Amino acid sequence: MGSAASILECAQIIEDQSKNKRCIVTVSAVSGVTNQLLSMVELAKKQKPRLVVKKIHQLEQLHRNITRAFFSNEKEVSAVWEKDMLPIFEKLKAILHGTSLVGDLTHKMQAKVCSFGECLSSYLLLYALEKKGIKASRIHSEKVIRTDSAYLEANVNFTTTTLACKKYIAPLLQKNIVPIVTGFIGKDTHGDTTLLGRGGSDYTASILAVALKADEVQIWTDVNGVMSADPRFVKESISWPEMGVKMMSEMAYSGAKVVHPRSIAIAVMKNIPVYILNTFDRKFAGTKIKVDEVKDVKGIVTSDQNILLHIENPNMLDEVGFIAKVTSIVEQFGIPIDVCSTSETSFTFSVSEQDFNPKLLKSLSKVGLVRKIKNIAKVCMIGHEITQNSKIFEDVFRMCHQKKVPIQSISVGASQRNITLMIDQKCKDQVLVDLHHTWIEKRT
Ligand code: ASP
Ligand code: MG
C-alpha cells in the first residue's frame, strides 16, 4: 500500500483473485504511516504541538494525493475527502492536540491514534476498487475483531470474533461483495480500540480465515516468499515453493525478513495454508506455509553488529547460580540476550550493538572477568532436525578451518532446528556463500 500505483496493483490482484473465489481483503496502512503516527505521539508527549500539526498536514497531503488518482476531478476528491477522510483527521488532530497540552498519552489513546493508518488506507483501496467497477464494502475491524484490553498487543477472543465475522462479513460474501477489512485493529469489551501488535494486519487476515473457515490465506508482500538466504548477499538464493510453519518461525526468530510467525500460525495450525506472494512479481507462485516439516537445511540467516561478552570466573566451579547472576544483571539493563553458550566457569552471550550499554561491563565485572568482542556476525543454519545431522557439523568446522575463520562461539538450538555460529563480521559473506553453496544450491 505504498502509492496510488501499488494500490491499483492491489485492486488488480483482487479483481483477478475474485474471478474464481470469494475473497475477503485485509489492508495495512500506507507504507510508513504507522511509524509516522507513532512519531506524532512522541512529539505530542514532548509537547511540541507545532511539529505535530506539520506532520499531520504531511499525512493529509499524502492521502489526498493518493485519493486524487482514483477520481477524475477535484470536486469528486473533495466530496469523498469530506465524507470519509476528514472526520478521521479531525479526531487525530483533537487527540494529539490534547496530548500536546498535557504531555501525556495512555496506551488506550496511542492505540486509537495508530489505528487511523488502516482506517485511511481502507478507503483508498475501496476507491481503487470502485474505480475498476468491483463491488466492495469497507468494514471497520472494530466491528468484528474482539479482544481483551491489552491495547497495543491485544489478545483475540475467538468465540465472539467468529460470531461477529459470521454476522457482518459472511452476508457480503453471499452477495458477491468484496469485504475490505482494516487490518491491525480490534475492539475490547468496553468498546475501546485495541491493536494486534506491529505487523498485525497479517494476523487479522489469519483470524478472519479461521473464523470463516477459509480455504487459504494469501499474504501479498514485496519479496519472493520465503528465501534460503538474503538475496542481497547470496545471488543464488532460492525461493521455496513450500515450507513448514516451524521452519519459517525459526527463520523469522533468527532475523530473516519474513512475515511474523504469530500472524499466520493460527491459520496454518487449522490446516489453512498460507501463501506468501509478491505484489511486484505476480508470476511468482508464492511460498506455501503448511504444517508438515521437511528435513533439510532451508535457510541461512545472518546478522551483523553483534557484541559477544565472555564472563569467566574460575571460583565459580561447582558454585550454584553463576549464570543466574549474569543474566539478572543483563535483565536489569533491559537488554535482550540473543545467543549464548556456557562452560562450567564461563558464560558467553551476544547482544546487538544497538541494545548494548557500556555500563553493563562494569556491573558484570562484579561477577567475573569480562571480555567484549565487537563486530561479530551471527550465521544461523536453519532446518528441521538439522542438529541431528553430524555431517553439517563436520562441514562447518572443516570449512572454518580451511578458510581460517575462528568460531567465537557456537550454539545448537534446543528446537533442533538451528545451528548458530558467531564469527568475525569480515568473514561473514564468505561463510554464508560457502554454506549456501554446499547445503542448499548443491542439494536442490
Ligand atoms: N500498520 C501496522 C504496522 O505497521 C500493521 C501492519 O502493517 O501490518 O505495524
Ligand atoms: Mg504489513
State the DSSP string of 185-213.
EEE-TTS-EEEB-TTHHHHHHHHHHHHTT
Ligand sitting nearest the alpha carbon of 34: 1
- Residue 199 Cα to ligand 2 midpoint, Å, equals 5
Q: In which residue ranges of the chain is CATH 3.30.2130.10 found? A: 298-441
Overall size of the chain counted in residues: 444
Residue 373 confidence (pLDDT): 97
Q: Which of 27, 30, 34 to mutate to test the pocket of ligand 1 (most atoms within 8 A of CB)?
A: 34
Q: Which CATH superfamily is domain 4-215 in?
A: Acetylglutamate kinase-like (3.40.1160.10)
Question: How far, in Å, from the CA of 11 to the mean position of ligand 2?
Answer: 17
Ligand nearest the Cα of residue 259 is 2
Separation of 29 CA from ligand 2 center, angstroms?
8
Angle between helices 86-102 and 33-45 (to 10 degrees): 30
The two beta strands, 407-412 and 346-352, are: unpaired
Nearest-CA residue for atom 2 of ligand 1: 199
Q: Which atom of ligand 1 is the closest one to the Cα of 199?
A: 8
Ligand 1: which of 6, 26, 28, 110 to mutate, most ligand atoms within 8 Å of CB?
Answer: 28
Nearest ligand (C-alpha, residue 36): 1
pLDDT score recorded for residue 413? 87
Residue 118 Cα: closest atom of ligand 1: 1
> Which bound ligand lies closest to the C-alpha atom of 198?
1
- Spacing, Cα 225 to ligand 2 middle (Å): 14
**Å from CA of 179 to ligand 1 middle:** 19
Among the bound ligands, name the one nearest to the CA of residue 197.
Answer: 1
Which H, E and C letters describe 242-291, residue by residue? EEEHHHHHHHHHCCCCCCCHHHHHHHHHCCCCEEEEECCCCCCCCEEEEC
Q: How far apart are CA 101 and CA 89, in angstroms?
A: 18
Distance 108 CA to ligand 2 centre (A): 22
- 426-433 contacts at long range (C-beta below 8 A, 24 or more positions apart): 426/375, 427/377, 427/403, 428/302, 428/304, 428/377, 428/379, 429/233, 430/403, 430/405, 431/379, 431/399, 431/400, 431/403, 431/405, 432/229, 432/233, 432/234, 432/300, 432/302, 432/379, 433/233, 433/234
> In angstroms, what is the span from residue 355 Cα to ligand 1's centroid?
23
Q: How far is CA 117 from CA 74, 120, 324, in A?
A: 23, 5, 43
Q: Which residues line ligand 1 (CB under 6 A)?
A: 28-29, 34, 117, 183-184, 198-202
Q: What pLDDT sits at residue 414?
A: 87
> In a mutational test of the pocket of ligand 1, which residue from 38, 145, 184 has the highest number of ligand atoms less than 8 Å from its CB?
184
Please give the distance, rounded to the nearest whole angstrom, from the Cα atom of residue 117 to the centre of ligand 1.
8
Separation of CA 35 and ligand 1 centre (Å): 9
Local structure of 410: helix, strand or coil:
strand
* Ligand 1 atom with minimal separation from the 198 CA: 9
Is the backbone of residue 428 left (phi > 0), alpha (psi -120 to 50) or beta?
alpha
- DSSP states of 354-391: TT--THHHHHHTTTSEEEEEEEEEEEEEEETTGGG-HH
Counting from 1 in the atom list of ligand 1, the atom nearest the Cα of 202 is: 8
Please give the number of the atom of ligand 1 that sits closest to the Cα of 204.
8
**For ligand 1, atom 5, which residue shows the shortest CA distance?**
199
**Each residue's pLDDT expressed in tens, for the chain with a length of 444 residues:** 899 999 999 999 999 999 999 999 999 999 999 999 999 999 999 999 999 999 999 999 999 999 999 999 999 999 999 999 999 999 999 999 999 999 988 999 999 999 999 999 999 999 999 999 999 999 999 999 999 999 999 999 999 999 999 999 999 999 999 999 999 999 999 999 999 999 999 999 999 999 999 999 999 998 899 999 999 999 999 999 999 999 999 998 888 888 888 899 999 999 999 999 999 899 999 999 999 988 889 999 999 999 999 999 887 777 788 899 999 999 999 999 999 999 888 999 999 999 999 999 999 999 999 999 999 999 999 999 999 999 999 999 999 999 999 999 999 988 899 999 999 999 999 999 999 999 999 888
One-letter identity of residue 418? N
How many CB atoms are located within 10 Å of the residue 102 CB? 10
| Residues 333 and 302: beta-carbon distance below 8 Å | no
Copy the grid coordinates of residue 194.
Answer: 485495541
* 257 CA to centre of own chain: 8
Bridge partners, residue 290, by sequence: 244
Determine the distance separating the centroid of ligand 2 and the alpha carbon of 79, expressed in angstroms.
29
Q: Name the phi and psi angles at 439, rounded to 5.
A: -100, -10
Q: Kindly give the number of the ligand 1 atom that is closest to the alpha carbon of 35.
A: 4
CA of 326 to the centre of ligand 1 (A): 36
Q: Is 91 helix (H, G, I), strand (E, B) or coil?
A: helix
Bridge partners (DSSP) of residue 299 are 382
The H or E element spanning position 348 is strand 346-352
Give the closest ligand to the alpha carbon of residue 28.
Answer: 1
**Do residues 376 and 307 make contact, with C-beta atoms less than 8 angstroms apart?**
yes
Quick one: which of 192, 187, 140, 195 has its CA closest to 161?
Answer: 187
Pocket test for ligand 1, best of 59, 110, 121, 201 (most atoms within 8 A of CB): 201
Res 321: pLDDT: 87
Ligand 1 atom closest to Cα of residue 197: 9
Distance CA 78, CA 60 (A): 12
- Which fold does the domain 298-441 belong to in CATH? VC0802-like (3.30.2130)
Residues of the chain with CATH 3.40.1160.10: 4-215
